[in-house]
Amino acid sequence: MINSRNSFYFVLGLILIAAFSRIIPHYPNFTPLCAIALFGAKYFRNRNLAFLIPIVALWFSDVIINNFILSQYFEGFTFFYSGFYWQYGTFLLITLIGRKTLNNFSYLKLIGVSISSSLLFFIISNFGVWISSSIYSKDILGLIACYSAAVPFYFGTLSGSVFYSFFLFGSYEILSKKTSKVFTNK
């Protein structure tokens, strides 16, 4: 296992690598955001860091995406986009769920919480789109239309959540064992 002094930097490094993957070309919504929230929840001992670091990684990647990649859709420099609180709030909730469910870790539990996290993100973020935009009518038909339009993007959210969860948690396990062997063989 990695010693506790270096564990913080190791977990932070994996989160930053995953957050960087948001700014490279990828399948729509195939992002590490749910996985980052779960990973931070599991491996940051400090409760405040478990919530703060994934949100800061999300915000920083959003600033890069909104101001350099999607700049044609925003006027001026954008620190926060409209409706950001729906997404950020969902990731705080996912972090809370991760802290409660991943104490006794298993890969079966990880797949379950990854799937449920992506579903939670789908439900809350698209509700936010429906309630706070003028795109859809404010009735049940508008809500159904909003969720229906979002279904094609759910595959990316689900597969990204599962893939990156296994990538982050698996990388941590593999690298911590290799690091442990390097330091014990000296």
pLDDT of residue 43: 93
SS3 70: coil
Q: What is the DSSP letter of 143?
A: H
Kindly report, residue by residue over 30-70, the tens digit of the pLDDT: 999 999 999 999 999 899 999 999 899 899 989 998 898 88
Global pTM?
0.87
Burial of residue 150 (number of CB atoms within 10 Å: 0-12, 13-18, 19+): middle
pLDDT of residue 25: 84
pLDDT of residue 5: 57
pLDDT of residue 40: 94
pLDDT of residue 183: 45
Consecutive sets of 10 residues in the chain, 186 residues long: mean pLDDT of each? Answer: 65 88 87 95 92 92 89 86 91 96 93 97 97 95 98 96 96 81 49
pLDDT of residue 181: 58
pLDDT of residue 85: 93
